[in-house]
Amino acid sequence: MKRKSKVTLLLTAMLASFTVITACGGSNEQGASSSSSPSPAASQSASSSANKEKVTLKMAIWDVNNDFLTYLDEKVKEYTAVASNVKVELETFKSDGDYLQAMKVRATGNELPDIMGLKPNWLHDFQEQLLPLDGEAYLAKNKYADKFAIDGKVYAVPMMAFPELVYYHPSIFQELNLQVPTTWPQFVDVLTKIKDNSKYIPYAMGGKDAWPDYPFNEFLPQIVSGSESYLSDMAKDDQPFSEGKPFHKAYKQIEQLYSSNVMGPDPLGISWDQATDLFSSKQAAVVAAGSWFAPTYESKVGNIDDLAAFPMPYRESENEPLKLMMFTDHFYGITNGSDHQDEAKAFLTWFFSPDVYQTYIDAQKLVSTFEGVESNVPFLNAFFASNKNESFSYIPGDAEYTRITNAIQLDVKAIGQDMMAGKKVDDILPDLNDKWAKAKASK
């Protein structure tokens, strides 16, 4: 995007100095929510910005939760009450895959939005298009941002964190006399017993969409490794998929689960929405997802009376620590091609302020990433109170890992689909080793 010349900006400023400004307080013309009641400070800020050039900030994000997207669209419109010359337009996507594809296309034409949402493993892909945020006051209060710095610079700030859970219906477990599993063998055994009973689908997968297999195909190798830096460490290995290494061991565990046929008659033939419908209607006993799923379930069923959760029991035995995968998500960054970087910075400062952020995290019903803001989520509070575990953060791979995986087009979720279709790990991983070694050598 072309920037305005200094001459144009000077003329604009000169014209503005001779313009008589009329008050238009309380107007919703720029999209401010009619229910918003700005503070005196916000009103003063809005008044001081009334004589500035009108600016439209483009913001893009994805989420599977339509209710949250509607909430967020209304929330960003409130900013006009703070800066009356600024209008924030939110573009939303239901699928992170569709969102990523759209942003990559736009990046090639320098047409990215001013503010964009990112998943942690996309940070390296868009590093060159992002503005470093170091020095912004809110960074000091974010509990996770530094973990995702690249070469010492923070390019985007995470807005939420959540544990990855296994949801189940306590009534079904009670009916079938099942105990909550705490190890991987117990997990497979519980699902097998549900299958043998034949009344319920043991596990609702939704494999048609690929991404729902992430608790297994994406997370398990990192958990098995025991190291949060495992993905970056992989980039130092010429053959990380060899037998005896974490990836191979993890995929053998996953193969055991998929070959048990505990995901219904056609796990690849149904979508995530269909799978969660099966779970919500008690046709399926178990489903795995982040804690973001609980509000979705409640909106479908009307209550959470027959909903409970336990940590995914990745460990092989009770002699090992029970690790709980914590995922940090919905990072927000400013693109360096934006014509309105100062306005974007001011918007994020407002967006990350305690009062505004509190409403965001309450709407998402997830874990706060900012000090001084606590989550008000009874379901999560009850989970943490009743489950003892060791927290483990998902940290994406570094630049070299990203380079190699992009070069070989590594898609672990698609591999999960192949495994559900019957393809064997011993046929998949040797080929990956060959591709990996060649890509690693071709710098």
Fill in the amino acid letter for 179. Answer: Q
**Phi-psi sector, 397: left (phi>0), alpha (psi -120 to 50), beta:** beta
C-alpha span between 2 and 109 (Å, rounded): 12
Alpha-carbon torsion, ordered 339, 345, 346, 352, to 10 deg: 140
Closest CA to 47 of 22, 19, 66, 17: 22
C-alpha span between 260 and 124 (Å, rounded): 37
Q: Is pLDDT at 29 greater than 80 in this prediction?
A: no
Please compute, for residue 6, the number of CA atoms within 13 A of its CA located in the half-sphere on the CB side. Answer: 0
Three-class secondary structure of residue 116 per DSSP: strand
Mean pLDDT of 76-102: 94
21 versus 365: the higher-pLDDT residue is 365
C-alpha span between 91 and 68 (Å, rounded): 13
CA angle 417, 421, 422 (to 5 degrees): 120
Q: Is pLDDT at 239 greater than 50 in this prediction?
A: yes
Q: How confident is the model at residue 48 (pLDDT cuts 50, 70, 90)?
A: low
Residue 179, both tokens: 């105990």
C-alpha span between 122 and 145 (Å, rounded): 14
Three-class secondary structure of residue 333 per DSSP: strand
Residue 202, both tokens: 């043991």
Instruction: Note the maximum CA span of the chain.
Output: 81
434 versus 387: the higher-pLDDT residue is 434
- Identical fold for domains 55-159+329-377 and 163-326+395-442, yes or no, is yes
C-alpha span between 414 and 412 (Å, rounded): 5
C-alpha span between 425 and 432 (Å, rounded): 11
Helix (H) or strand (E) segment spanning residue 92: strand 86-93
Q: How confident is the model at residue 25 (pLDDT cuts 50, 70, 90)?
A: very low
Helix (H) or strand (E) segment spanning residue 15: helix 6-17
Domain locations along the chain: 55-159+329-377, 163-326+395-442
Closest CA to 388 of 303, 291, 318: 318
Q: Does domain 55-159+329-377 have CATH number 3.40.190.10?
A: yes
C-alpha span between 327 and 353 (Å, rounded): 22
Taken in order 164, 170, 172, 175, the sign of the CA dihedral is positive
pLDDT given at position 50: 57
C-alpha span between 340 and 432 (Å, rounded): 44
Please report, rounded to a whole number, the percentage of residues in the chain having pLDDT higher than 90.
78
Mean pLDDT of the chain, nearest integer:
89
**Over the stretch 125-143, which tens digit does the pLDDT of each residue have?**
999 999 999 889 999 999 9
C-alpha span between 182 and 165 (Å, rounded): 12
Helix (H) or strand (E) segment spanning residue 191: helix 184-197
Residue 55's beta-bridge partner residues? 86
Backbone angles phi and psi of 282, in degrees to 5: 65, 25
Residue 423, both tokens: 């393809």
Contact between 402 and 125 under an 8 Å Cβ cutoff? The reply is: yes
pLDDT given at position 131: 97
Fold of 163-326+395-442: D-Maltodextrin-Binding Protein; domain 2 (3.40.190)
User: Cα dist. 413→11, 97, 209, 212 in Å?
Assistant: 54, 12, 9, 8
Task: Count other Cβ atoms within 10 Å, centred on residue 130.
Answer: 22
Three-class secondary structure of residue 32 per DSSP: coil
Q: Is pLDDT at 12 greater than 50 in this prediction?
A: no
